Amino acid sequence: MTELLAAMSLRQKIGQMIQAGFEGTEPNEAVTELIEKHHLGGVILFARNIGTLEQVASLNEGLQKSAERSGTLPLWISIDQEGGMVARITEGVALMPGNMAIAAGGSADASYRAAYVSGRELRALGINLNFAPVLDVNVNPDNPVIGVRSFGESPETVGRFGAAAIRGYQEANVVATAKHFPGHGDTNVDSHLDLPTITHSRDRIERVELAPFRRAIAGGVDAIMSSHIYFPAFESQKLPATLSHAVLTGLLRQELGYEGVIMTDCMEMQAISDHYGTIRAAVMAVEAGADTVLISHRYDLQVGAIEALVEAVESGRISEERIDESVKRLLVLKQRRGLLEGGEQHADRERVYLPIEQIGSAEHREVARRISEASITLVKDEQGLLPLLPAVKTLVISFEAAVSSFVDEAISMKATLGKALSAEGLSIEETVIPLAEAGGRLTEAVERAKSSEFGQIVIGTYNASLNPAQAQLVQAVQALGVKLVIVALRNPYDLRRFPEVSTYVAAYESRPLALSSAAKVLTGAIPATGKLPVTL
């Protein structure tokens, strides 16, 4: 490794410190130039890059061949495949439930199995780095960006389930990335949109936010991603963790003893770009102690960051020894994950390296099904409205899942709660309301609920705790005195907006598998065995 590092030019080394995103389902001119001219260390895939499984595998092979052709080291090919509501590849794979659903099922072994199966499928597609698991402790019900992406509100639970997931990914020979250090669970601002601040004392942060990361470090996590959040307890200047030497070097490296790779979250997020500028912040992040800078979208910013880092070294602002520290960590990790010769040799190599034809196998989908069904949580059923009566016509009102270019991307609504209930034998009429139209459709929905043809009504909410119009609908329908069942199809915190409802079920997500599992519970086909990982 020392010889390889010594043979690299400054530009080659700095290229290894950049991960970049690009448009399209095949290598375009921009990413090819980044690889071949700028010696790019890795790429990140989003839904915009995903078509069929065969296409994804071909894309990744093409990217790696571009690196090989130009003498660039093999690439990190990374993705946000957390499971549940945050997943870039949803078709053809065994899509696993998300963190809070897994924690609701109560088994840390399920967390391991979900990560291991997902990791094997990712590796079969040529993806070798996953930006997962989330280790944020979601203690703030109004958190707009973490929520069900967290294992819950208990530092011990988050640490235990997170450590199991890390072990699963890494045993599948995929880099696990614990995020978002030092913790994004107690914010009410989305760092994609602005710079959040966590004002808690050092002692409180040690007990809550840092506890899962300590456990991950003890378990040998490959990588840790920094958050774009300001922590005054650790940083005297108003700098987010990503740009804070006190946080990345002082806290993470020196105090916590972390020796692995530190990665930034995307530097185009507004918490960074609006306050510091992506290119300037790339240099600041490396000065703070980051090993890899993630720039997910714009080619001009990606090249600009590379040039700014080269200039920072040539001007003496950053020493080349500091660059060497990061590149050595990256090379060691590439070797460990089999990208460079001399990496780990698995005795059960045939078990770990999955043929593409076995992605989404019946065995893998069975793992996902069992975890999903174990997660569904009956919070209360005070009037004994469950199971739903099959002989009674049922009105289902549900809300479309969000579309976010930063986190969720497009959520397919081909599957709905009504369709899932119909598959279980119920007579269903369903109204699906786009979130943006929730207020405008209130009167229409209430009028439909008044109809005497419906003997029972099911409302599937989607982050109603953050969307007042949904809560107004629930309250208006409840006032009709009908038999009403509420199913939370994302954050379970929705109950805080209408605590008087008598029957409330938490499904944690609105992916097709979760809808099917919820429908089985609602109709009595399976028992509700999940337990809330958060307090309502």
Residues designated catalytic: 192, 265
- Cα–Cα distance between 521 and 527 in angstroms, integer? 6
Closest alpha carbon to 256 in 292, 228, 221: 221
Written as one string, the DSSP assignment of 382-405 is TT---SPPTTS-EEEEEEPPP-BT
| DSSP-based three-state secondary structure for 263 | strand
**Is the distance from CB of 225 to CB of 178 less than 8 angstroms?**
yes
Cis peptide before 74 (omega within 30 of 0): no
Cis peptide before 133 (omega within 30 of 0): yes
Q: For residue 394, list its beta bridge partners.
A: 428, 456
- Cα–Cα distance between 47 and 200 in angstroms, integer? 36
Q: Which amino acid is at 183?
A: G
Strand-pair category, 503-506 with 377-381 = antiparallel
Cis peptide before 527 (omega within 30 of 0): no
Looking at residue 249, the DSSP 8-state letter turns out to be: I
Looking at residue 97, the DSSP 8-state letter turns out to be: P
**Is the distance from CB of 491 to CB of 347 less than 8 angstroms?**
no
- Token pair 């004994």 in the structure block, residue: 384
Q: 173: left (phi > 0), else alpha (psi -120 to 50), else beta?
A: left
Q: Which amino acid is at 426?
A: L
- Cα–Cα distance between 111 and 274 in angstroms, integer? 36
- Cα–Cα distance between 406 and 192 in angstroms, integer? 7
- Token pair 């809300």 in the structure block, residue: 399
Closest alpha carbon to 239 in 206, 262, 264: 264
- Counting every residue, how long is the chain? 536
**Is the distance from CB of 182 to CB of 213 less than 8 angstroms?**
yes
